[in-house]
């Protein structure tokens, strides 16, 4: 492994020559070579948490559908993983990707010291809590003696449900019951079958149910958890050392996709609808929500909130976590 100073010098050298170099292959991750015009040319895989059902993944789908990756010299296979921990394993194998922030920090503290946080992604809390459209529940204050269906013990949805219940004066386990039932599909099924009163979800799944007239939002976690970074871009130190210009091109493509989502919805929404196989009306709504939170800047205050949640869930020891050592400097400058 190269030292930090060696890494920075190599990146500076690459930029000085406009990235016009022939790259060595990254074992198990992809193949790099100089393109015909001297630009980056890379083929490989990227790990993405819940690719087709996660609002945080919208830049990946838009960039893929609009050919933005190809324009940056990247031929990427987007590989979807069912959860944060699995996505972190994918990043460790593939070299780069987008997991949920907390599982990535947890994996680092548990020994995966090759992991590096290289850029932000979705700097917002995205979980929403749904009720059937005909439910008598009208506000979060109606939750007393009710049941909230969340994912699994130790999950972020468990943290949100407990934290928000306490913030409105309810004691979990006494005034409101938190049920661990699984993913969005399982949670919604439990709610529609009367096993729970409220179901956790996130866009686009929640927007599809709302668009069908089956559900409505009872409360949105972002109304209560106002500082948060749901997902972030990570890479391994080996990938950074071997292919910093590939990571630069990848993040440049991500930024371009985020810009299209925020500033050109007429172009972004049809592309997202096609790639995600959802109605365009749903795509428009999801991208409107996505634009309020997507960005490559690393929000340190929001990271602190995630780490505090990890402490409450028993997954992290903040006192033993050197956040500065996890962050790879320089990749989000001027983006």
Q: Give the number of C-alpha atoms closer than 13 A to the C-alpha of residue 62, restricted to the C-beta side.
A: 29
**Using one digit for the tens of pLDDT, what is the confidence trace for 170-196?**
999 999 999 999 989 999 999 999 999
Higher-pLDDT residue of 24, 225: 225
**Using one digit for the tens of pLDDT, what is the confidence trace for 64-79?**
999 999 999 999 999 9
What is the dotted CATH code of the domain comprising 128-223?
A: 3.40.190.10
4-124+230-326 maps to CATH 3.40.190.10: yes
Mean pLDDT of the 264-286 span? 97
Share of the chain above pLDDT 90, in %: 83
**Using one digit for the tens of pLDDT, what is the confidence trace for 19-31?**
322 222 233 345 5
Q: Locate the domains of the chain by residue range.
A: 4-124+230-326, 128-223
pLDDT, position 33: 40
| Two domains, one topology: 4-124+230-326 and 128-223 | yes
What CA–CA distances, in Å, run from 86 to 107, 134, 213, 315?
10, 36, 33, 16
**Using one digit for the tens of pLDDT, what is the confidence trace for 114-149?**
999 999 999 999 999 999 999 999 999 999 999 999
pLDDT, position 36: 38
pTM: 0.86
């Amino acid at each position: 492994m190269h030292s930090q100073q060696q890494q920075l010098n190599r990146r500076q050298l690459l930029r000085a020559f406009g990235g016009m170099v022939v790259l060595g292959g990254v074992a198990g991750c992809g193949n790099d070579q100089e393109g015909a015009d001297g630009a980056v040319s890379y083929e490989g895989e990227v790990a993405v948490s819940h690719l087709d059902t996660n609002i945080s993944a919208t830049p990946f789908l838009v960039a893929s559908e609009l050919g933005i990756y190809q324009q940056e010299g990247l031929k990427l296979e987007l590989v979807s993983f069912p959860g944060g921990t699995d996505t972190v394993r994918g990043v460790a194998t593939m070299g780069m990707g987008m997991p949920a922030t907390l599982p990535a920090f947890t994996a680092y503290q548990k020994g995966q010291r090759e992991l590096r946080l290289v850029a932000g992604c979705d700097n917002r809390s995205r979980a929403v809590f749904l009720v059937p459209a005909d439910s008598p529940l009208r506000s979060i204050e109606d939750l007393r003696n009710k049941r909230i269906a969340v994912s699994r013990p130790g999950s972020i949805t468990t943290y949100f449900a407990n934290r928000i219940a306490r913030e409105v004066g309810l004691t979990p386990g006494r005034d409101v019951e938190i049920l661990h039932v699984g993913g969005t599909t399982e949670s919604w099924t439990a709610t529609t079958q009367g096993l729970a009163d409220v179901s956790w979800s996130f866009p686009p799944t929640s927007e599809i149910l709302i668009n069908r007239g089956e559900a409505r939002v009872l409360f949105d976690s972002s109304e209560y958890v106002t500082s948060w970074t749901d997902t972030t871009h990570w890479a391994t130190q080996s990938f950074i050392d071997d292919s910093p210009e590939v990571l630069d091109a990848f993040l440049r493509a991500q930024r371009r996709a985020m810009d299209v989502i925020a500033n050109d919805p007429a172009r972004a929404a049809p592309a997202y609808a096609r790639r995600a196989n959802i109605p365009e009306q749903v795509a428009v709504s999801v991208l409107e929500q996505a634009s309020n939170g997507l960005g490559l800047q690393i929000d340190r205050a929001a990271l602190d909130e995630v780490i505090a949640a990890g402490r409450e869930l028993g997954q992290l020891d903040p006192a033993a976590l050197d956040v500065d050592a996890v962050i790879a400097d320089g990749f989000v400058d001027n983006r």
